Amino acid sequence: MALPIGTARLLGIFFTDILLGMHLITFFNALWIQLFRHREKGRRPNWLLIAVTLAMGIIGILNAGTDLALNNQVFVVTGGDVSLYTDLAYWMNLVQDLCMILQPIIGDAMLVYRFWAVYGRRWKATVPFILLWLAASSMMITIIPVFGETASCILTYSTALIAYRLWTVGRAVRAHIIGRRRLQLVMRVVIESGLLYTITAIVFLGTTISKSNADYVFGGVAVQITGIAFNLIIIRVTHRLATEDADESNTEPSTFVLDTLTSNQPNTVSAGRDNLPVHIRISRHTEADGDIVFMK
């Protein structure tokens, strides 16, 4: 049994508004971290990330607001004229379509940006993903939204490459790091947020291809999830690193035997003495690299 369009739109506004609440919580939290908490630690604000946070929040609010206004127009003003839902020229539908196009374009652009930052700002490695992002963006803007969504799903492959890069770097320096593995922490956060975004995009793609009315449900959901996934990276990395710094500040520097030095010259003054081990006390103060953690 096909899902009626009226039911689909009501389900859409229900789930969209729930996720909008989550989006706004992460939105204000991420802004506070970038505008105030980083300043307290002497870090300069990354205005690109702040602008993206603001843009995604505004788009999320605009999408949910027009969805509410459209449902009010259909069920209250016109008395149930569901033809407004399929009127692509109606301005509320145009605004919602614009939100569903702009949000994934911005989200995919930030994936490319993180890839570029994690791979040492190497343009040769980033150019293929830039071209794929341009192709996905142009197809979503034009008359082929399905192929644009497909390319957007493929573009999330960069998340796997980001995680692989963090894993290989963490593995290379593992022997030289005392304490927890920060790169693995960042890798987990990036993977989890990337999966959240990727799964939503795949489900939305499936409903679009099947031409199901469930497309009206997942369209608004995808807009909110994109903003939530972006904000969660900033919030969770900041929170976990702050917790780790607090734990490390309460940990005493460890002392261990590095080596035992012996003399190879039997006629030296110390030849008859006992060879004592040399103890070296090593302590560490770590400052997180913003270029890796927050993808500046």
Rg (CA), the chain: 26
Over residues 52-76, the pLDDT tens digits come to 999 999 999 999 999 999 999 999 9
258 secondary structure, DSSP code: E
Mean residue pLDDT across the chain: 76
* Residue 255, φ and ψ in degrees, nearest 5: -120, 135
Give the end-to-end CA distance of the chain in Å, rounded to a whole number. 49
Q: Widest CA span of the chain, in angstroms?
A: 107
- Positive/negative CA dihedral, 185, 188, 192, 194: positive
Q: What is the mean pLDDT of residues 195-218?
A: 82
- For residue 295, name the pLDDT band (cuts at 50, 70, 90): very low
Question: Helix or strand or coil: residue 150?
Answer: helix
Question: Which range among 98-107, 160-169, 196-205 has the greatest average pLDDT?
Answer: 98-107
pLDDT at 101 > cutoff 60: yes
Q: In angstroms, rounded to a whole number, what is the distance separating the alpha carbons of residues 234 and 237?
A: 6
pLDDT at position 37 over 70: yes
**Is residue 241 within 8 Å of 293, Cβ to Cβ?**
yes
Architecture of the CATH domain 5-253:
Up-down Bundle (1.20)
| pTM for the model | 0.75
The predicted pLDDT at position 79 comes to: 86
Give dist(CA 70, CA 76) in Å, integer.
10
Read off the pLDDT of each residue in 21-34 and give the average, rounded to a whole number.
Answer: 95
pLDDT, tens only, 257-293? 444 445 555 554 444 455 555 555 555 444 444 444 4
Distances (CA, A) of 251 to 177, 183, 184, 247, 283: 15, 20, 21, 7, 10
Question: What is the structure's pLDDT at 175?
Answer: 56
> Which has the higher per-residue pLDDT, 216 or 189?
216
User: Do residues 97 and 114 touch, judged by C-beta distance below 8 A?
Assistant: no
Residues in the chain: 296
Q: For residue 173, what pLDDT band results from cuts at 50, 70 and 90?
A: low
The answer to which of 160-174, 201-215, 269-283 has the lowest mean pLDDT is 269-283
- In DSSP terms, 257 is beta-bridged to 279
